[in-house]
Amino acid sequence: MNRIRFLATTAIVLVMAGAASAQTAPSPEFPLPYDSQRGVFSFATGLERSLAAVVRVTTLGVSTGPSRDGNEPTAVSGGSGVIIDAEAGIIVTNNHVVEGGQKFRVDLADGRLLDAELIGADLATDLAVLRITAGGLSEVETVDSDTLRTGDLAFAVGYPLGLDQTLTMGVISGLGRSGMGDAVEDYIQTDAAVNSGNSGGPLLDSRGRLIGINTSILSGDFSGGNDGIAFAVPTRIMMFVVEQLRANGVVSRGGIGATLGSLTAERAVELGLGFVRGAIVEDVVPGSPAERAGLQRGDVITRIQNRPVANAGSVQAVVGIAPPGTALTLVYLRAGAEASATLNVEITEPGGVQIGTSAVQAFGASFAQTPSGIQVQAVEGGSAAAAADLRAGDIVTEVGGRAVSSLADFGARLGGRGDAVLTVARTDGEAEVRIRR
């Protein structure tokens, strides 16, 4: 039986090859692109135009070990990147590839070695922008990631595990993935092989167009090896971040004035819900867009801008790339009844403190009164709180060396000028956290 199936499959391929002998591009009848000169099915024609735009990125810093010159920068990390604007020499990579670097070096596919300038980086999306000055550069064509479908072919390109430029193929195995810990999450999931060194490299469609930036993998052990699940930041988010970094060097994000939590199985049972996808409104800041739109504690947001909401990260993925003044439409459940609301995104004052009825939002973190004290409920990736290593679950015991016992007292103490110095209790002891405004 197996032999019959194999012969039948071979016959079909040969018939397709013969019928498509004059083809060099896909057609409805024969979707695989065919190279008639070599007699093989191949995606090379579409991909080769983009491969020249994929670069190796090496981050240089001060070595901690002995050297002849203690100030001589040495390689401390590396990854990949992709040129999206050849004329201006703009390269997109990951923030974790360039983080902590003093200098940056770029190896082009044609063998040239160039110094690069860091234009800016964004921790919340793990993206960074470099600039090089050179002629004869190639750039990748960018396509809207919202057009993707699960099952589309995907190609990852980069410089993994110390190898030269490497191309791997897979499919898009999921869209809208979130819950990995960052503030802005709407990842493309793929089973294309992505390994250490691929970080910052492009994820391409079958025509060689950029659909995302490879940023992380899910590994089943401590080796960090590829297990067939990798994540990429979609171009929908990438373009927003790149435009802001090129224009301002930093990314400014708006907010809606609501503290959100993810709907887990435990919370769903508690609320009497028969599903586990959504974002729970934990608190609403007085005078905020969320309050003006009528949102209340306990509302469960299920859709935003007609996009399904898997958890709190899904909402932030939309809010986090919406320019100030953008009107967003939410669909939510309240007491089992579905309703909708429209609200406008507003820029919050950096370092500002927003005091709600049962929570305080400050520095990109939310705090609530619990039986154990003032507890950190959530910390947004890329925020001042995240940079200071404030963690969800921390119990704040002091602000500026003075004990706090109530949420109102805590909010008032945070409203002062200068850095906020928090003393927090953790399971492994006490720590001091300095948050820079």
Residue with tokens 């802005």: 184
- DSSP calls for 100-164: T-SEEEEE-TTS-EEEEEEEEEETTTTEEEEE---SS-----B--GGG--TT-EEEEEE-GGG-S
Phi, psi of 241, deg, nearest 5: -65, -45
- DSSP calls for 170-226: EEEEEEEE--SS-SS--EEEE-S---TT-TT-EEE-TTS-EEEEEEEE--SSTT---
Q: Do the Cβ atoms of 366 and 283 come closer than 8 Å? A: yes
Cα–Cα nearest to 126, from 54, 60, 215: 215
From residue 92, alpha-carbon distances to 32, 133, 231 in Å are 30, 15, 16
Measured between alpha carbons, how far is 84 from 404 in angstroms, rounded to an integer? 50
| Catalytic entry in 107, 122, 126, 205 | 126
Total Cβ atoms within 10 A of residue 215: 28
| Catalytic entry in 199, 288, 366, 383 | 199
Is there a catalytic annotation at residue 126? yes
Is there a catalytic annotation at residue 366? no
Cα–Cα nearest to 415, from 368, 345, 360, 348: 360
Measured between alpha carbons, how far is 190 from 171 in angstroms, rounded to an integer? 6
Regarding beta strands 90-93 and 230-234, do their DSSP bridges make them parallel or antiparallel, or are they unpaired?
Answer: unpaired
Is there a catalytic annotation at residue 199? yes
Cα–Cα nearest to 158, from 119, 104, 204, 121: 204
Q: Where are the beta strands (DSSP E) in 327-419?
A: 327-334, 337-344, 346-347, 353-355, 359-362, 365-370, 373-379, 395-399, 402-403
Measured between alpha carbons, how far is 118 from 106 in angstroms, rounded to an integer? 12
| Catalytic entry in 50, 96, 216, 283 | 96
Would residue 161 be called left, alpha or beta, if left means φ above 0 and alpha means ψ between -120 and 50 degrees? Answer: left
What amino acid occupies position 42? Answer: S
Catalytic residue IDs: 96, 126, 199
